[in-house]
Structure 1
């Protein structure tokens, strides 16, 4: 067999194989020709004659008309509807939207608590507070010797436990607290904790305040501790997201709740809450008007300081809930 004829046959064979793979939707959309044939090659393989399938997708060419490389380009381009001879068009064809398409942002689902039912919810023992931890491994280095654990709960989860226990035992407030790990891998922490937050809200529609408990990064101890009645406590910073980067129309509702928590804390335990900070991210707070991110202490606090603060924070949250009930 002449060398040129063998090369052409090999090229056609490769083109047929690529057509089958690509038309099945492994890398690129199903070809227009095969789509019009009724379905993809993968589904028709045992029903149609192979020659007829290939004949639908491959252009009719003679050995003199095209060189093997040109034949391959034309065959794949025709089979997929993408000009693989043009790098720009090939890349653009794989983008999820075309360059001229408008960017559409869908509104987020926002859980609106029924304030009129708060008294009934409390009497019936329904959950009013949700607690979770986006960065579950965050801990306190002065106690644990490390800044965070990889794949297991850190000191912030202990804070959540004390907060839950104090709310329940001292104030009779039902709490849903999850210790689910979200920060492995770290880069997808908020994507994972979104699922948890949404799950808490789906299961407990009565939730009024949803807290994501963290600890701050490095900060001088004089800024992350406060003395109350002769004991050292970790200060609490409240973080509220905004619409600076993404769709978040109700963020000022969250800010109002944060300011109320801060004001009540200042009245009950001056210095416990160091302030409210508005930042550009959303931190999953668009899910609920009472969703807050609380940084209890910093990496260079002792765990005991943060746990003592959790007890006082429970008193503050209970007072805020009582005030909302009377509104």
Structure 2
């Protein structure tokens, strides 16, 4: 119990190889976290050997023609929002006052976590005619180290029962430094008199695990990021391209979205969720091939 090792689950052995202090530091500062090896490692024939070079960045062609079109299924969800780190939260405020369980601002009360921001984003997308599911399964309790393993199982099950989903958003909040006030300086912007939490997209590559669709994810992320900046100049913290894949191999349009940091408030992050939903809806409409009697965005 003290080491989080399950004798029937070899995967749990990995967690004891990381010093406890490293786990704490990872949770506070590097919120995307870590991925454990898949249950069925790739064979020698298709094993991807990690490279010492940084991930290759595809040409940032932002034309919609470079991104696979979307064919929606009437009455079926198109977007999934979920949270690998469901208990990440924000600095308490007057309207969203709570008792964080740690100095990195986490809470098991999902009314005050990033899941609340996900509620707003999903509601906005649904209002705009983009059918969206929001899953609030908690994946980072009792341990942070297996959160991506846990969320992978959740998303795989959702996709199995909802094959219409084409866009997958893993919604987080960032912590670029351990000090929330210093983080706030990096993750806050005022646009037209309104304060927003800044947004960063994290895209995984294939350096660590096989990920044949990462360039498609990257191009989709470029479209979304450019639309965000067009509508809300200064809100984007650009795209962070990583070696890990962050479960993004499950879709050609999978992105990890960091809204704000533990130096922002819930109010600021809710405004950013609305901004992101607006930008995403416009990108979706630009990519959508309508079937007969379909009318996405005009429902």
Give your verdict on TM over 0.5.
Answer: yes
Which protein has greater RCO, CA pairs closer than 8 Å, 6+ apart? 2
Q: CA deviation at 1:249?
A: 2.1
Matches within 5 A, 1:33-182: 103=44, 115=69, 117-118=71-72, 121=73, 124-143=74-93, 144=98, 146=100, 147-149=104-106, 151-153=108-110, 154-169=112-127, 171-182=128-139
Q: CA deviation at 1:270?
A: 1.1
* CA-atom RMSD in angstroms: 2.4
- TM-score normalised by structure 2 residue count: 0.67
Change (3 A) 1:260 1:116: closer
SS at match of 1:227: strand
Q: CA deviation at 1:168?
A: 1.1
Change (3 A) 1:230 1:114: closer
Aligned to 2:198: 235
Q: Cα deviation per residue 1:3-43 (whole Å; 9 max; x = unaligned)?
A: xxxxxxxxxxxxxxxxxxxxxxx9xxxxxxxxxxxxxxxxx
**1:282 pairs with 2:238:** no
Change (3 A) 1:106 1:132: farther
Change (3 A) 1:230 1:247: same
Aligned counterparts of 1:181 and 1:116: Cα–Cα separation in 2: 29
- TM-score normalised by structure 1 residue count: 0.62
Q: Which has the larger radius of gyration?
A: 1
SS at match of 2:87: coil
Q: CA deviation at 1:322?
A: 0.3
Aligned to 2:165: 207
Change (3 A) 1:275 1:114: closer
Query: Runs of 5+ in structure 2 lacking a partner?
Result: 1-7, 9-42, 49-66, 291-299
Q: Does the CA contact (< 8 Å) of 2:68 and 2:287 recur in 1?
A: no
Aligned to 1:61: none
